[in-house]
Amino acid sequence: MSFFKTDDSWAGLILRIGLGSVIAAHGAQKLLGWFGGVGYEGTMGFFTQKMGLPWLVAFLVMIGESFGSVVLIAGLLTRFTAASFIVIMIGAITIVHWPQGLFMNWFGQQSGEGFEYHLLVIAMSMALVIIGGGKWALDSAVARWLERGEAVPDRLVKRAA
């Protein structure tokens, strides 16, 4: 399986647009404070001080959700980004959501949210890791370029002088 190779399926397109859109909103909460989020400083403080995560892990989660989701929607680095979402969601389940059980806190009777959302993200991400980005994914253009075996054009390479 080539890292960039993908088919022309609608399934990959639908998965990456749907997943990328939802994760983008969560990333915007963490990084920019949109949609009721606390932004970079608040998220970094919560992750590092309250949860005890290393700053690098907190930073990578925010960047992965924010920029990774945009890249995923475009269909570039689909497998890498989807795999990173799997890692982020497994971390969220094990560190935060496992004690609350499967279900979300629909009626306010739990101390936090369950992990059903995270399982859906993992399942969608696994599908993208397997099939690639599908229709209109930039990965397919990269795969075609790599198959042709062309050298990188001189105008794109900085010459050491």
Nearest CA to 29 out of 47, 15, 3, 48 is that of: 47
In a domain, 50, yes or no: yes
Please report whether residue 1 resides in a domain. Answer: no
Question: What is the predicted pLDDT for the residue at 146?
Answer: 86
Is 126 inside any structural domain? yes
Domain count, the chain: 1
Q: Is residue 5 part of a domain?
A: no
State the DSSP code for 85. H
- Does a structural domain hold residue 91? yes
Q: What is the rounded CA–CA span in Å between residue 130 and residue 123?
A: 11
What is the residue range of 148's domain? 10-156
Where the chain has pLDDT below 50, the residues are 1, 160-161
Q: What is the model's pLDDT at position 160? A: 44
Residue 124 resides in a domain: yes
pTM of the model: 0.87
- Per the listing, tokens 């001189």 go with 154
Instruction: Judge whether 3 lies within some domain.
Output: no
Residue at 4 is within a domain: no
